[in-house]
Structure formats: structure tokens, C-alpha cells
Structure 1
């Protein structure tokens, strides 16, 4: 493909060459007709007569004596993955300029440590299943309940402790002590579309998790998605026989992440962070019930209207086809 400032495209270069070489036109007339200089016309005529291509040649030099040797480049990348040091430290080890190290790391897409897995030192491997329902991620997010009147994040530590004490006086745990308690946010997110289904419960037991899974499967089924595999961490609820048996009853394969490797379940972990910023702590909720009531509206905004970078800056529901209420 010719460059943006070229006066002649490859097709017109061939036409110019044929007018001169085959039809006998003078070079000056052809140059005037196509509004180019006569050396340009002669260049394409010479290439035509030599049987060469009319495409642009590479501007890369035949030799680069100052080019960084491949052995140095490979060593630089290897040290970056193994030691995770910056350009200055690597430059001292390799006896080259830090700018050269930075250029090498940029070309290998390792210039940011976020691109390197912290545990293995290898480049981050990203994946996405090819259709909705092929794999869903399941997890639970534990949040502290908001006392009546508002939590400390918005009213301050002093006033927040007063609200907490007042709420505790109304609520008692199984042993008769004061309790504000926790909210357990159960989430299922589709790997391909990033469509999420979420419920808030007061515990994370196997019975609660299984009931939530059944409702999530029905919710996705109403939208034309059949869940084939379920990926979860190694929590007690997901390692229970009750979870295994219900996954089999739902014709879904239960899969687990490696121990101490939450990155494997990173899509739902990242969703929980988005949910915390956009819903849980987005504004001052005066009670836990008020916050829970706001979840449905935020979840609809997330699924139907909020642009998602993994979906090409389109909402997650844009990856589901012919779903009722998809564009509402």
C-alpha cells in the first residue's frame, strides 16, 4: 500500500510505466498529465522494465551496525520477567542505556509491571470464551452493613461510631451480643458478555449459594443463555457436596481456581471492585436496606447502559442477541 503523500497509486504507477514503455509516450508528457516530476515517471518505468513491483519499497536500511544484539534483547526480557526491575537497574546489569532498555521493554509489551503476573513473572495471559454461557464466574463479596444514619465513610469516624452503637443496640447476634453484621454479595458474571447477576444475602453458606445459583441460571435462561461451566474459588460453600450435586443437576460443570490464585477468577473480582465504587460506596446511604434497594437500579445500568472496555466500549448486554428489553 502506498504512503499517504504518494501522488500515484500502484495501479497508476503501472499505467504510467506502460504509457512510456509500451505506447511510446514521452516522459515529459506523461509527467505533465499525471502532475508528477519526470524523475518520478522514469523511476516507475525503470522498475517496470526490470520486472519489479509497483509497490513501495521498505525504507529499512540494509544494515544497522548500531542495532542492539538479539542476545542482549533476550537477556533484557528474561531479566525483566525474572527480577521485575526497571530500566535503570536493567541498564546497569546489561551495560546499555536506560532508554534502550525502555525501548526493548516497550516492543515486548513489558514496559509496565502490570503486564507481568506477580506470582509467575510471566506476561499476563488474557482469555475470553467464544459465546455466552460457556463459562460463568461465581464469587461472594463481603461488605460491612451500614448502620442507621450512615456509615463513617460519609459522616466521619466519630458520628459513624455513634450510628453504629445505636444500630447495635437494636440488633443482637446468636449469643445476645450487639451486632451490625455483614452483607454477602453473591455474583455470577458471564465470561464472554460480562453480563452480571447479583443478590445480597446475610450469609455465604452452601444452602444460600446453591439457591442463588438456581435463580441465576433461571435469570440467564430467560435471556437465552445456557450456563455450561461454573468457575469458583475454593470456598467451603463451593467445595461442598451440595454445590457439586446441584451443578450436575443443572447440567453445568463445576470448576475451581488454583489455591491462592484469585487472578484466575479475575473477571468477577474486578466486577466487585466496580460494584463497590459504583454502588456500595458511591453515595451516603442512611441504612443498609436503602443501599440494598439501590442495587437493582445500578445493576441494570451496568448491564444495559454502562460502556465496558472488554466489550468494545459497549454495554455487556450488547453481546446478547434478541433479548427482551435489551435496549430499554
Structure 2
């Protein structure tokens, strides 16, 4: 790809060739186009040798790299990284190499960041993205502690917060009030990252199935036909009711491999965003207040918040696209 200040693009090189083929001297054409004679002759020579294919940019990578780290040494670096999770500063002294060289080797093998590796096995995590909206939707549940009416210990002294807990619920366990938990059910489209969430009372099969019906309606309202749903192996997702709910809408159900949450990584990452930018972004005075704030967050997330995986655009930018883009 030509750099921003290049005198000649592929179109300009074709124009150069056309003028030379018309009988114009190469030196005159070079002067008209503001390039050197050597450059003009280079492109004319490439065109004569290779045709139109010779007018495209070539890789600047050298044909040989005699000083590159030997393959067996690179294998040792990768082995230390994979088995012992060591960084360049520790691998370097072990092998008698500069840490900068070790870092370049790890980068070349996509092992320079531990989050790109599966910690137990040391295998590189394969990242993917579906080609169109609805091809795959990730679904998961996040458990959140409830907030007593009047606020908890995050916004007031513990003694006062404990009084709020006593006044909020009659449930007791060992003499202490039991506030309980809320369950955030979430669905996110793999391609567009369009998300839908609800705060519900439990994670039973009936609740999960009803949530999916509402989530499917949400995606349908945005012109997305869901083809597959990916979940973990929670009991609600292994139930016959959830399977029948998906089958009724002609949706294929996929489940992750046990102990491999990375497979469902997009919704796992959204769960973390929910905590950082909604659940814990400010102190709430009640569970109801926090629940009501979810709708505003989802609107911001879907329509306004930039997403790094989408080139800084919000998820809706991949939904409202010209007809036929995904066919």
C-alpha cells in the first residue's frame, strides 16, 4: 500500500505507462509527474517484464535475513514462554540473549502477550469473527450481589449499611440479613457486537428460555435473523426447555467445551464492561436504581460508544448497512 505522500499510486503508474507507450520520452513524462527519471524508468522496466502486475507495490521484506535468530533457539524461547510463562527479561539471561531479541521472537510467534495464550495449555487462543450479523450470538449470565435499600457499604459506613440490610429483607442466615443476588442475562451478536441484557431474579431454565425469546425479538427488530446461539454448559442451557425454545425458532445451539470460557469470550468481555461502566461506575442507593440504569448503558453501548474491534465505531454501524453487503 502506498504511503500518504507517494507521488505515484497504481493509477499514476498506469498513467505513466500510457504516456510512455504513446511515444513520449520517459524523462519528459517523469518531469511532468514530479518524479525522478530513475523512478520512471523503474516502473517502465517492471511493466515491460511483468505487465500490469508489476505496477503494484512489493513487500519491502528482504529475501534473506542471515542474522535472524536460529529456528532451534526460537523454539527454546517459545517453549520457555509456553511452559513457564516467563517474559523477555527472564528468558534472555537463561539463553544468553538480549531481552529485546527475545521480545521480537515472541511477537513473531504471537506469544508476546500472555492474554493471547491459554494459561493451562500454553496454546495460542484463536480469535475469530463471524462474517455477518446473526450468524452467531453469544449468551451468558453474570451474578451480581444485590444492593440494600438506602445503599450499601460502598457509599456509607458499614454500621449504617448493615441497618439498611436489616430493613430491606426479613431473610436471615446465621442471624445476618441475606440480600441475595441478581442475575444479568446477556446476549451479544458476534459480528456487530449489538448487545441485549436484562437483570433477572434467577438463572433457572424457565428464566433463561424466556430471556432468549425477548432477546431474539430484539435482534429481529434490528433486522438480524439469528442462526446460532453459543452458551456455556450451565444447567439452564442444558435443559430440554432451552433447547426446544431455540429449535422452535430454527436456531442451532452450540455449547463451549468445558473449562474453556475463552470460546465465549465476546460475551465474557461484555460482562466485564457491564461491571466497569454500569454496575460499578457509580454508587447506587438501591438495587432498583442500578437495574433502571442498565437501559441507558445499553443504548449508549449499542448506538454511541466506540468499540475498538469495530474500528472505533458503535455496534449499530454494522447493523444499518447497505442492502446486500452480507450476501
| Length-normalised TM-score, structure 2 | 0.79
Q: Deviations over 1:44-82 (max 9, x none)?
A: 59x96xx87998999877876544223322332343233
Take 1:223 and 1:231, find their aligned partners in 2: how far apart are those partners? Answer: 20
Any conservation in 2 of the 1:17–1:41 contact (CA below 8 Å)? no
The offset of 1:89, in angstroms, is: 2.8
Q: For the Cα contact (< 8 Å) 1:102–1:111, is it kept in 2? A: yes
- Tell me the equivalent position of 2:205: 206
Q: Which residues in structure 2 correspond to 1:245-284 (within 5 Å)?
A: 245-284=244-283
1-side partners of 2:139 and 2:258: how far apart? Answer: 15
Q: What is the CA deviation profile of residues 257-304 of structure 1, one whole-angstrom value per residue up to 9, with x for unaligned ones?
A: 111111111111111111111111111211111111111111111111
Query: Is there any run of 5+ residues in structure 1 with no aligned partner, and where?
Result: 324-328
Q: In the TM superposition, what are the counterparts of 1:1-328 in structure 2 within 5 Å?
A: 66-168=67-169, 171-172=170-171, 178-321=177-320
* Number of residues of Structure 1 aligned to a counterpart in Structure 2: 313
Q: Aligned partners of 2:202, 2:63: CA distance in 1, in Å? A: 68
8 Å Cα contact 1:13/1:44 also seen in 2: no
Distance 1:145 1:294 in 2: 14
| Structure of higher CA gyration radius | 1
2 CA distance for matches of 1:222 and 1:36? Answer: 55
Unaligned 5+ runs, structure 2: 323-327
Q: 1:227 to 1:158 in 2, by over 3 A?
A: same
Using the alignment, how far apart are the partners of 1:269 and 1:227 within structure 2? 19
Distance (whole Å) between structure 1 residues aligned to residue 141 and residue 165 of structure 2: 24
Following superposition, which runs of at least 4 residues in structure 1 exceed 6 angstroms of deviation?
A: 1-18, 22-25, 29-37, 51-63, 173-177
Does the 8 A contact of 1:14 with 1:44 survive in 2?
no
- Residue 130 of structure 2 aligns to a residue whose secondary structure is coil
- In the aligned structure 1, how far is the partner of 2:66 from the partner of 2:179? 71
Q: Are the aligned partners of 2:16 and 2:29 in contact in 1 as well (CA < 8 Å)?
A: no
Kept after mapping to 1: 8 A contact 2:16/2:40: no
Alpha-carbon distance in structure 2 between the residues aligned to 1:254 and 1:83? 37
The CA RMSD measured in Å over matched residues stands at 3.8
Write the deviation string for residues 70-99 of structure 1: whole angstroms up to 9, x where unpaired.
Answer: 332233234323332112332234332222
